[in-house]
Amino acid sequence: MSFLIPNPRLILPARRLALPSSRSTSPRQLLHGADTASATLSSPPSNTVASGVPSSEILSIRDSLLSRRRTASDIAGEYLDRLHKVEPQIRSFLHVSESAMKEAEEVDRMVAAGRELPPLAGVLVGVKDNICTVDMPSTGGSKILKGYRPAFDATAVRRLREAGAIVVGKTNLDEFGMGSSTEGSGFQVTANPWDLSRVPGGSSGGSAAAVSARQCVVSLGSDTGGSVRQPASFCGVVGMKPTYGRVSRFGLMAYASSLDVIGCFGSSIADVAILLNVISGHDRLDSTSSKRDVPDFANELVSLNNLDSKPLKGLKVGLIRETIGEGVDAGVVSAVQAAASHLEHLGCVLNEISLPSFSLGLPAYYILASSEASSNLSRYDGLRYGNQVGNGELSSIYGHSRANGFGDEVKMRILMGTYALSAGYYDAYYKRAQQVRTLIQKCFRDAMNDNDILISPAAPSAAYKIGEKTNNPLAMYAGDIMTVNVNLAGLPALVVPCGFVDGGPAGLPVGLQIIAAAFCEDTLLRVGHIFEQTLQNCRFVPPLYGAN
């Protein structure tokens, strides 16, 4: 059974890996610009996820601890050494935990005592800095919250700790999640591990870059309009935006409350599935969290060896026509079309579909998100929250604290949102945007009636240069066109690396976005896992990691 992808732009950025002796395929030459790299795409792996697929860092760590081949202290020390070594170049973290090694030593004591290990024991997790942590600053990437330490953990963080995870630090982001490159951070700009002159995406760029550079095992981000999926594509990692309500938002700093979700990053589908299992489920502290049962996402992932030659036979896939047309880089289109062809090889029934309301999503999103932000960010006034600047009249304290604490992008979105909600303009902007949102939701429902999943690029381009779009906010906003509709519809979406385009020292990764019906994350992960395993010889490991 052959699982070759007909993509002339796909490269192998690391060493050539040998094919398994059984079910082998013929090698082929894969071109990348003027260079060539000899590579082969393999048949399915021999192990199931349950028995420990090597691509799962979480399962590998667990196996090492249970077999006592390695200690949690050794593993934590290795990650921390790498984190500190590359951090001056990448700048993924705003704060690094001072207690990570002590927590790793506690795991070692559990192992020595023969106690049962929780599922994430010894696993180092990065947490986006707009998600509250009781033992570390939580700034939201904003100077107005510089030094702020919450009195509680976000529910997602609490569940991580209960599962044995070690929170290694807080990752950089665009201020309060408002941006697509981390250039809007109040503190620093994160670099892409594939090319240090390029952005990692945003707003969860720090979380994506940290996983890509192997500074941590997995990480949490937040996704309001694509802030997990776009950086996952730019950094060559797996990114999951769950259904709205699947993961509690308690402890997530609100940007646009009807759109915000907490999502996951990992270097494999298995790791993302395990992480999502831990943080999902109803939370009485969040009235919008769903009471639906949470499937065991990881245990539903099955090796291709246990399936037939067409493991996705009959799965109906809709390629969204509006996402591969004008305004999308040719290399990105080529990579996504090759991925679509690969899904056909796996047995899927591929159809090109149209979402007539797709182009309306971007303006509707920015009106709705800005409107909600103008309300949510009113709490940062220098008195209830945030650093106080000035004294005297109350209005003066408010004005000086917000003027000095907020960055330009945040101020602009607050003004946009306030204008859209003001008397005389509410019906023309906010109300109409809500009507468009309803239209988008209907379009997706209709598309899902005829298809099991939808696919598209995660972004119209690969990672661009730092500073390239800072003076052109409309061009920056246009980069969200592939992702915002999914948030408006409240659906889950997964991004899995699917290929490369020219750029940087070893090419730039491209991500395939896979969309499913509400609360069908298990379908996304199953499809993504099969897709990923057939690409196991295409190592999405940046040159920076290989050099350290």
Paired residues of 239 in beta bridges: 265, 495
Which residue in the list 203, 219, 289, 334 is annotated as catalytic? 203
Distance CA 505, CA 329 (A): 19
Q: Judge whether 128 counts as a catalytic residue.
A: yes
Looking at 25-154, list the stretches that DSSP marks H as alpha helix, in order from N- to C-terminal side: 57-67, 72-90, 100-112
Distance CA 89, CA 468 (A): 19
Residue 28: which H helix or E strand, with range?
Answer: strand 28-32
Could you tell me if 277 and 298 are in contact, meaning their C-beta atoms sit under 8 angstroms apart? Answer: yes
User: What is the amino acid identity at position 204?
Assistant: S
Question: What would the DSSP string read from start to end of 249-301?
Answer: -TTBPPSSTTT-EEEEEESSHHHHHHHHHHHBS--TT-TTS--SPPP-TGGG-
Which residue in the list 43, 128, 219, 267 is annotated as catalytic? 128
> Where does residue 248 fall: left (phi above 0), alpha (psi -120 to 50 degrees), or beta otherwise?
beta
Could you tell me which residues come within 8 angstroms of residue 274 by beta carbon, excluding any fewer than 6 positions away? 56, 58, 59, 119, 120, 297, 298
Which residue in the list 56, 204, 227, 233 is annotated as catalytic? 227
Q: Judge whether 203 counts as a catalytic residue.
A: yes
Q: How many CB atoms lie within 10 A of CB 300?
A: 14
Distance CA 231, CA 235 (A): 6
Distance CA 85, CA 161 (A): 26
Q: Which positions are annotated as active-site residues? A: 128, 203, 227
